[in-house]
Structure 1
Amino acid sequence: MLDTKLATSLAHKLFRAEQVRENEGAAAEQSGCDMYTLMQRAGDAVFRQCQNLLPNTDIYLVIVGQGNNAGDGYIAALKAKQAGKQVWVCAVEPDRVLKGDAGKAQAQWRESGGSIRHFDPALLDKAGLVVDAMLGTGITSYIRNEFADIIDALNAHSIPVVSIDVPSGLDANTGQSLGRCVQADVTVTFVGIKPGLTTGAGKQSCGKLVFDDLGIGKAFAGLARSSATLLDIEQFRGLGPRDVHSHKGTYGRLLCVGGNKGTAGAIRLSGEAALRSGAGMVRVFTHEASIVQVSAGRPELMVSADELEAALEWATCVVIGPGLGQDEWAESVFTTVMKHCQSTSKAVVIDADALNILCRQATAYTISDCILTPHAGEAARLLGVTIDDVETERFNYARQCAQRYHATCVLKGAGTIIDNEWSTWVCKHGNPGMATAGSGDVLSGILGALLAQGLARDMAAKYGVTIHAKAGDEIAGLYGQRGMIASDLYDAVRALINQ
């Protein structure tokens, strides 16, 4: 019987590809089975997902490579054939006899009467579904041209694709495309979820990610140490009910700093998001030209453009950056805020333009309780690398950012990564509809509100990122992704934070 509690736990852990390869044999042995049994279970799991995706499809095209990934593909082809499907198996080298367990699966396919042919793009117009069993997790260098040509043909066609373990051409650890990468509709990954499937371009390439521990999860979890944790809203117990005798001061005093001339909307979004996330009191310090725009229509926000030192003394924590700009006013405000937070050890969320100023003054400050919220471009500036560097190795650069600034780094994007120098988490929620102006400003307000209500830095980062992303999914589910604007998230955030 599957241990549901264990399966849920393992489904939220990430393991590097080499950890899976090095430990799955021992885990299988401890679980009373061999590696070929795992291959059979994997092929069966793939066929089940094909049926779930398109139950009425009668023609399967299975494209295999030369390793164990191909073995899984042969088993999936055999299962489909046994279920009455018409199955075409294609390979780069159809006459090549595979070795080991993959060879055993290949032989079993041939013994069933199945044939293996060269890939022909014309088959894509006739089949109803493709099983991608070309390249598994072992590939770490740029792929051969013959595989690249097949991947190009798949990606140019509208046929649904189910990838085995990892989309062919994807680095399972980083999510980087190794020259070409299959854009799958479903990816079925086994034994342990690989980090590259959960963030950045890798998350895009995977489509829907399905995990199956192949019945060895308990043993594997005892052998391998996870490299990161996947965050799901269901893992959080919430903030709990408020005390009857509490008052607004009980839930913190948050100061949001930003909103230069012409960019008032950003800090307004942060301030209102903080109110909707439960902060007791929220004050906004902004440019004098932005006071009316920030306060109009939201009287609950206290707004000022002078006496910054007094506002900092009042606050229990600070958000700085949304709409701050990078001119002389911004530089002066940034310096005042950072000196205060450093001298008082006050928690601060540094976002947007404040990150751009920080990268020029990094050696001047050491904040003991700090959350940084860069997107890839801001992270690149903070670390002196290119945006492509960050996007191809998001885990690496999230860790570097956390280490350089001794902060909790929230590297935003598809599969937002949270890193605190020692541990890493990835948010499973979120959607492309959230790629809209102001979404990050809302996140900074949520994070500030959670800090104001007493959550520790790492927990505020993890919970805040998860609530923000899940809120985006809730809105997309109601109205669709296109047309989502940042302020749409408020009601969903409020509902989620009260669960």
Structure 2
Amino acid sequence: MLDTQLTTSLSHKLFRADQVRANEEAAAQNSGCDMFTLMQRAGESVFQHCIELFPNLDIFLVLVGQGNNAGDGYVTALNAKKAGKQVYVCAVEPDRILEGDAGTAQANWFAAGGKLVEFSEALVEKADIIIDALLGTGINSVIRNEFADVIDVINKSSTYVVAVDVPSGLDANTGQSLGRCVQADVTVTFVGIKPGLVTGAGKQSCGQLVYADLDIGKAFQALARPFATLLKIEHFKGLAPRDIHSHKGTYGRLLCVGGNKGTAGAIRLAGEAALRSGAGMVRTYVHESSVVQVSSGRPELMVTDSDLEAGLEWATCVVIGPGLGQDEWAENAFETTMKYCQSTNTPVVIDADALNLLCKQSTAYTVSDCILTPHAAEGARLLGLTVEEVESNRFNAARQCAQRYHAVCVLKGAGTLIDNEKATWVCRHGNPGMATAGSGDVLSGILGALLAQGVHVDMAAKYGVILHAKAGDDVAELYGQRGMIASDLFDAVRALINHHG
């Protein structure tokens, strides 16, 4: 019935900055080149992407610090100069003579008649484009004031910014800003894509992410084990066509538990999302005051406010949390549901207030097929951390959450993470327009529907997150990001889930 394996040949791998540093020289040698050749390729790649993405720009401002990142900057500057561009190079430490390959790149710039000029706000405004080669992937502590001051000027300007390998001030592994961080329009990253570039604040700082393997990607990936994997809709074959003789019972019975007094909308969105994602039958268990609101709007949803146990026995899968609340009614519903799912190993998606109730339990429930869907604040409560601690290392938080609750953790946000205790995946789709009430409820419904249709828990989490985010992108492409509401995603999800690959 299902054909949902990942086509791994198309997937993008993520590698920590230290993995790149440790293996790039050997990868270069195995590919028949040296490290200076790599630096030349890096600078050439940055310049080529500048003229492809921003044609007709004439005045280049290249900002360099020290080390190999500065070397890449000098090579970029030389490429621009040779192409007839007007190029200004500013060094944060202008008297410093660089060593090694970076020193060779600096010497080549001077030999070609290049000079260093003093950094100023006026120069930033004069430039058509800024090349950020200030700080590379090696920094992991708060940056010095002289760099912070330059970054402040860059971020205040409206000039295009292209970052070399990583936006300066960004921790390449975690995506955390180290005091200040360049907000780039484009980031050209080399050899391996670093995890911090694709999630949380790092995704924002990078702008458009461009990957340049410098012709050693294959050799590098033979040496280094991926830290995580990037996912896009193209990596999934989708659900197989339905059998002609199948019926509604073939596609699962999903029970959605939530919809407390005054919050009927959340469970209604989750339930309808599940129907639109192919669940055969969906029943909602709600507070008595929510029955009319849920049933009148969507007659295909079965609604009950009594006998939760009977609903659980009927179900092949459960979603709990949308609109659940945290009062006595909610606590009773939560306890009954979790005890049942644990004793029968019924697959369950735990979202919203159910996550808040889960972290209050002295003993965590363990269900073999369980997906948790926290945003940063819920993740912080689940782990006893602050929101800042979660956002400063989202990969670590997702892994901790998965391990603590023995579940697949979907840590929502820019670059949503999926972690199953052993591996991590990052969603490449999604946009800020999806930051709207009810969007998470729709995701829960999609995840529940996939579990109900028999998709394995890991694949349901990955495919569900991708479907939801890509649907948001499709809606934004049609109508724009502002004004998107959660129910706008239904038709887009339905169209995507019927595309069989």
Q: TM-score range by the shorter chain?
A: over 0.9
Give the letter aligned to residue 60 of structure 2.
Y
Deviation at residue 364 of structure 1 after TM alignment? 4.7
Mapping 1:56-455, distance limit 5 Å: 56-361=56-361, 363-455=363-455
**CA–CA separation in structure 2 for the residues paired with 1:361 and 1:431:** 34
Q: Go from structure 1 to structure 2 and tell me whether the alpha carbon gap of 1:11 and 1:458 turns closer, same or farther (over 3 Å shift).
A: closer
**CA–CA separation in structure 2 for the residues paired with 1:384 and 1:113:** 58
Give the letter aligned to residue 118 of structure 2.
H
Any unmatched runs of 5+ in structure 1?
1-7
**CA–CA separation in structure 2 for the residues paired with 1:209 and 1:261:** 44
Contact 2:372–2:408 at 8 Å: present in 1 too?
A: yes
**CA–CA separation in structure 2 for the residues paired with 1:348 and 1:90:** 56
Contact 1:11–1:192 at 8 Å: present in 2 too?
A: no
**CA–CA separation in structure 2 for the residues paired with 1:474 and 1:468:** 10
TM-score of the two chains, using structure 1 as the length reference: 0.98
Q: Go from structure 1 to structure 2 and tell me whether the alpha carbon gap of 1:306 and 1:10 turns closer, same or farther (over 3 Å shift).
A: closer
Deviation at residue 53 of structure 1 after TM alignment? 2.3
2:476 matched to 1:476? yes
Partner of 2:121, secondary structure, is coil
Deviation at residue 11 of structure 1 after TM alignment? 6.4
Partner of 1:491, secondary structure, is helix
Superposed CA deviations along residues 27-73 of structure 1, whole A, max 9, x for unmatched, are 00000000111111111110011112211110000000111001111
Partner of 1:296, secondary structure, is helix
**CA–CA separation in structure 2 for the residues paired with 1:31 and 1:9:** 21
Deviation at residue 353 of structure 1 after TM alignment? 0.3
Partner of 2:209, secondary structure, is strand
Deviation at residue 94 of structure 1 after TM alignment? 1.6
Give the letter aligned to residue 393 of structure 2.
E
Contact 2:64–2:133 at 8 Å: present in 1 too?
A: yes
Give the letter aligned to residue 335 of structure 2.
T
Any unmatched runs of 5+ in structure 2?
1-7
**CA–CA separation in structure 1 for the residues paired with 2:93 and 2:190:** 26
Give the letter aligned to residue 361 of structure 2.
Q
Deviates more, 1:410-419 or 1:8-17: 8-17
Give the letter aligned to residue 384 of structure 2.
G
Deviates more, 1:359-368 or 1:106-115: 359-368
Runs of 4+ in 1 over 6 A off after TM superposition: none
Deviation at residue 217 of structure 1 after TM alignment? 1.1
Contact 1:471–1:489 at 8 Å: present in 2 too?
A: yes
Name the Cα RMSD after superposition: 0.9
Deviation at residue 118 of structure 1 after TM alignment? 2.3
**CA–CA separation in structure 2 for the residues paired with 1:22 and 1:82:** 33
Partner of 2:363, secondary structure, is helix
Contact 2:11–2:229 at 8 Å: present in 1 too?
A: no
Superposed CA deviations along residues 270-297 of structure 1, whole A, max 9, x for unmatched, are 0000000000010011011001111112
**CA–CA separation in structure 1 for the residues paired with 2:286 and 2:187:** 47
Partner of 1:449, secondary structure, is helix
User: Hey, what does 1:4 align to over in structure 2?
Assistant: none
**CA–CA separation in structure 1 for the residues paired with 2:240 and 2:184:** 40
Partner of 1:380, secondary structure, is helix
User: Hey, what does 1:3 align to over in structure 2?
Assistant: none
Deviation at residue 119 of structure 1 after TM alignment? 1.1
Partner of 1:363, secondary structure, is coil
Deviates more, 1:50-59 or 1:390-399: 50-59
Give the letter aligned to residue 53 of structure 2.
L
**CA–CA separation in structure 2 for the residues paired with 1:353 and 1:273:** 19
Deviation at residue 93 of structure 1 after TM alignment? 1.6
Q: Identity of aligned pairs, percent?
A: 77
Partner of 1:63, secondary structure, is strand
Give the letter aligned to residue 469 of structure 1.
A
Superposed CA deviations along residues 247-280 of structure 1, whole A, max 9, x for unmatched, are 1111100000000000000000000000000000
Contact 1:229–1:425 at 8 Å: present in 2 too?
A: yes
**CA–CA separation in structure 1 for the residues paired with 2:74 and 2:289:** 67
Deviation at residue 367 of structure 1 after TM alignment? 1.4
Partner of 1:116, secondary structure, is coil
**CA–CA separation in structure 1 for the residues paired with 2:376 and 2:32:** 45
User: Hey, what does 2:20 align to over in structure 1?
Assistant: 20
Contact 1:272–1:445 at 8 Å: present in 2 too?
A: yes
Deviation at residue 244 of structure 1 after TM alignment? 0.7
**CA–CA separation in structure 1 for the residues paired with 2:9 and 2:170:** 25
Contact 2:270–2:442 at 8 Å: present in 1 too?
A: yes
Give the letter aligned to residue 480 of structure 1.
G
Superposed CA deviations along residues 164-219 of structure 1, whole A, max 9, x for unmatched, are 00000000000000000000000000000000001000000000000011000111
Q: Go from structure 1 to structure 2 and tell me whether the alpha carbon gap of 1:364 and 1:215 turns closer, same or farther (over 3 Å shift).
A: closer
Q: Go from structure 1 to structure 2 and tell me whether the alpha carbon gap of 1:104 and 1:190 turns closer, same or farther (over 3 Å shift).
A: same
**CA–CA separation in structure 1 for the residues paired with 2:248 and 2:127:** 63
TM-score of the two chains, using structure 2 as the length reference: 0.97
Give the letter aligned to residue 469 of structure 2.
A
**CA–CA separation in structure 1 for the residues paired with 2:408 and 2:224:** 25
Deviates more, 1:328-337 or 1:120-129: 120-129
**CA–CA separation in structure 2 for the residues paired with 1:417 and 1:193:** 16
Give the letter aligned to residue 256 of structure 2.
C
Partner of 1:371, secondary structure, is strand
Superposed CA deviations along residues 305-345 of structure 1, whole A, max 9, x for unmatched, are 00111110000000000000000000000000001000100
Superposed CA deviations along residues 398-443 of structure 1, whole A, max 9, x for unmatched, are 1000000000000000000000111100001100000000000000
Contact 1:418–1:462 at 8 Å: present in 2 too?
A: yes
Deviation at residue 9 of structure 1 after TM alignment? 4.7
Contact 2:160–2:184 at 8 Å: present in 1 too?
A: yes
Contact 1:93–1:118 at 8 Å: present in 2 too?
A: no
Deviates more, 1:328-337 or 1:363-372: 363-372
**CA–CA separation in structure 2 for the residues paired with 1:480 and 1:24:** 41
Contact 2:10–2:235 at 8 Å: present in 1 too?
A: no
Deviates more, 1:113-122 or 1:359-368: 359-368
